[in-house]
């Protein structure tokens, strides 16, 4: 109750815990929203064959915007990123492509332009194919992002909300007053950890509700399962927050420790992009991180409707991190 009342005196906490994740979700959701296909911008080197290339591309009526320029201007524009590709007519009636294999848009532009030119010149494909586009909720970036933001926010509030507050109380000599009281260390630390459960309910409701109302996100899993996962995650990171702050004497010290613990999870645990992009050799290490386990469990429940029983391995990771951290924090904790 004391921790809840203290929030009234710290309005900035309300912003960072509740408002900031919503603004982050809104900004990223708009930035990566579904939008029309990008227009490929290319430059055609002026000379014999340039008019032929332009005519072939215009006949295709594809999403390619072409300009005819002299070679130096075309290559300069390509180097500066104005154009994705430079098409240079050859002496044999063909074309030479200048593209950058390290730029995905340049590689895609080469494939698209070559297909357009070859097809317009009379090439026929031996196999008939069709394409079906899909922009259903559940397959979009925002659907991937919301569970990751929820897990990240539970980590941030658990680590900073408990670790920072504990060292602040120690630095202001408030913890010394508890030494003379009958309250045990375990009671005090459990009270700090359990206070995160109340905030967890608000965080889950706000972020999920925001995703559903603003981005029409589908929640396929049980709300009760999501809340239980959030509660376990909040307690696990609360334990980590207690451990990092159990001996720290200054705000600067605990800030460094918290950032040291959180930074690997910010990078590896799949908040903003899938950790599958990292080499397979480190996947076992990444899955052993508590934020990875929480994010994977939330995504499986929210996006796939997975049950709580099917998350046993991920729950075990969270319970071990939280339980071991709390036991060590209880052993190493100092009032002063």
Average pLDDT over residues 187-205: 80
Q: How far apart are CA 196 and CA 194, in angstroms?
A: 5
Phi, psi of 96 (to 5 degrees): -115, 135
Whole-model pTM? Answer: 0.70
Phi, psi of 95 (to 5 degrees): -135, 150
Q: What is the pLDDT of residue 317?
A: 95
Average pLDDT over residues 290-319: 92
Cβ atoms < 10 Å from Cβ of 220? 13
Average pLDDT over residues 159-174: 81
The pLDDT of residue 142 is above 90 = no
Read off the pLDDT band of 272 (50, 70, 90).
confident
Compute, in degrees rounded to 10, the torsion defined by CA atoms 116, 118, 124, 125: -70
Read off the pLDDT band of 156 (50, 70, 90).
confident
As given in the structure block, the two tokens for residue 112 are 């698209």
Helix (H, G, I), strand (E, B) or coil at 289: coil
Q: What is the pLDDT of residue 18?
A: 65
Fold classification of 40-120 is: abc type-2 transporter like fold (3.40.1710)
Beta strands in 10-118 (DSSP E): 40-45, 64-69, 85-89, 95-98
Q: What is the pLDDT of residue 315?
A: 94
Read off the pLDDT band of 61 (50, 70, 90).
low
Boundaries of CATH 3.40.1710.10 in the chain? 40-120
């Amino acid at each position: 109750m004391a921790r809840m009342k203290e929030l009234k005196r710290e309005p900035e906490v309300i912003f960072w815990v509740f408002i900031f994740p919503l603004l982050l979700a809104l900004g990223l959701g708009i930035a990566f929203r579904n939008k029309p296909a990008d227009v490929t911008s290319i430059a055609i080197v002026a000379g014999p064959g340039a008019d032929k290339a332009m005519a072939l591309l215009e006949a295709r009526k594809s999403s390619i915007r072409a300009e005819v320029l002299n070679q130096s201007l075309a290559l300069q524009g390509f180097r500066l990123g104005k154009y994705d590709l430079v098409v240079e007519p050859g002496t044999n009636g063909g074309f030479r492509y200048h593209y950058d294999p390290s730029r995905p848009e340049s590689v895609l532009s080469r494939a698209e332009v070559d297909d357009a030119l070859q097809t317009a010149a009379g090439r026929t494909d031996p196999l008939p194919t069709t394409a079906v586009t899909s922009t259903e909720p559940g397959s979009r970036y925002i659907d991937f992002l919301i569970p990751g933001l929820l897990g990240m926010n539970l980590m941030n509030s658990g680590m900073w909300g408990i670790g920072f507050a504990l060292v602040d109380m120690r630095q202001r000599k408030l913890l010394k007053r508890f030494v003379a009281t009958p309250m045990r260390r375990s009671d005090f630390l459990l009270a700090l950890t359990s206070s995160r459960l109340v905030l967890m309910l608000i965080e889950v409701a706000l972020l999920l509700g925001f995703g559903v109302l603003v981005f029409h996100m589908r929640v396929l899993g049980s709300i009760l399962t999501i809340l239980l996962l959030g509660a376990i995650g909040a307690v696990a990171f609360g334990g980590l927050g207690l451990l990092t702050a159990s001996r720290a004497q200054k705000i600067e010290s605990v800030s460094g420790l918290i950032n040291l613990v959180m930074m690997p999870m910010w990078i590896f645990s799949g908040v903003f992009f899938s950790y599958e992009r990292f080499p397979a050799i480190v996947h076992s290490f990444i899955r052993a991180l508590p934020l990875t386990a929480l994010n994977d469990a939330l995504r499986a429940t929210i996006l796939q409707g997975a049950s709580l029983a099917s998350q046993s391995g991920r729950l075990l990771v969270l319970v071990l991190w939280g339980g071991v951290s709390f036991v060590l924090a209880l052993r190493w904790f100092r009032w002063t």
